[in-house]
Every structure is written in C-alpha cells, then in structure tokens.
Amino acid sequence: MTFSVSRRSRRRIAWAAVAVSAAGVALFSAFTYLSPDPASSRIPLNPAIGLHYLTIVLHALPASLVLLIGPFQFAAKLRARRPKLHRVLGRVYVVSMIFGAVAAIVAATFSVDGISAQIAFYLLSAAWLYTLYRGYTFIRQGQIQLHRIWMIRNYALSFAAVVLRGFLGIGLVMKGFFPSLNFADIYTTSVWGSILVCAVVAEYFVINKTLTPLVRKRTAEVHSQAA
C-alpha cells in the first residue's frame, strides 16, 4: 500500500519541523545563557577577556528570540488573519537581530576557536544584517515579494544555528570512529557547513517557491494578452 502526501501537507510538515527544531535550540540556548555564571557557557571563553561571556549572552538571548519568531512570520494564515501581530513580531525580530548580530561580531573577536571560525561568524553576521536591511527596505517600499525573498535568506542564515548543532552531533559521533578528529576541526567544519547549507537551501526556496511561480504567472499573462 502506498501513501501520497499532498503538497500542502508537505509544507506543513516542513514548517513544523523547522519551528520545533528552532524552538528547541532557542529555548535551550536561552535557558543556558540566562545564568550569570560564566561556567555555564557552552562556548570556550577567552580567559583574557572578562566580558567575553557577556557578549555571548547578549548574542544568544536576542538570537534565540529570532529563532522562535521566524517560523511564525512565514505562516501565511497567520499573516492574513493577524496582520498587526505580524508587524509587531516583525519589529521585535528586527531589533533582536540587530542586537544579536552586533554582539556576535564582538563575541567572535574575543573567540578562542581560531581564525577560520572567526571569519565564518564575521561573514554570517554581516550577511545577517545585510539581508535584514534589504528585507526591511523592501517592505517599507511596499514590495512584498522582494521583502519575502530577502527574509527567507535572512531566516535561513538564522537557522544555521540549528544546523550547526546537528553537524556538531554528527561530528562527535564520527569522532568515536575516528579518534584522530579533534573538536576544533569538527566545530570549524560545522560552522562553515551550516552556513553554506542554509544559504543554498534558502536560494532553492527563493528560486523554486517564489521566483519561478512569479515568472510562470507573468508568462501566462503575456501569452493571454497576446492571444
């Protein structure tokens, strides 16, 4: 017996998977960094910088809020039924992301994870802010489709935090089979891998789920007018 899943059902399943995994990572991170004790940090701290833990906290807490809010901003029914809520959550998202990205740049500067990981976090933070700026600019201009495209890219970069933890888990499992692997290499590879994977997936959705339908619609309109 075969079971077919409708396109709508697949979208709901995908949305639920993103929302649940994002919420899990966000809540875990938030509860971890609500503690004032630097010993609770999951990230190695720079012993020469007393404020290193504070910068991580100032990144982790607003970034957790971004992860939580993001999936609901892409829920079409919620946008249609509660447009004011969508706008309010959008403002919270923007403010949280700015704080989180700036703190991430400072935290990366203090990081002891190596230059490769630092560069990855610098690039991610810059891309985070740029895609946010583009998304915000387009919605202010009333260009909803372009706003949606840039916010897909923006949240995909935010979701790299979730994918990073998945890659870390895989890497630690592999370390059991390959003892020569060290945590620093696993962490750096996971950081770069999570960013690249999320960026590629974002472009897939932008092209196949947003741009392609618009092109098809425009082509059909042109053909109907020509007929």
Q: Please give the pLDDT value at position 77.
A: 87
Helix runs in the chain, H state only: 7-33, 52-73, 76-81, 83-110, 115-140, 144-177, 183-205, 212-226
Ordered by where they begin, the domains of the chain are 7-226 (1.20.120)
Q: Please give the pLDDT value at position 72.
A: 93
Distance from C-alpha of 49 to C-alpha of 194, rounded to nearest angstrom: 27
Q: What is the DSSP string of 105-126?
A: HHHHHH--S-HHHHHHHHHHHH
Q: Is the CB of residue 204 less than 8 Å from the CB of residue 198?
A: no
Query: pTM to 2 decimals?
Result: 0.87
Tokens of 226: 């020509």
Q: Please give the pLDDT value at position 1.
A: 46
Q: What is the DSSP string of 75-114?
A: -HHHHHH-HHHHHHHHHHHHHHHHHHHHHHHHHHHH--S-
Which residue numbers in the chain have pLDDT < 50? 1-3
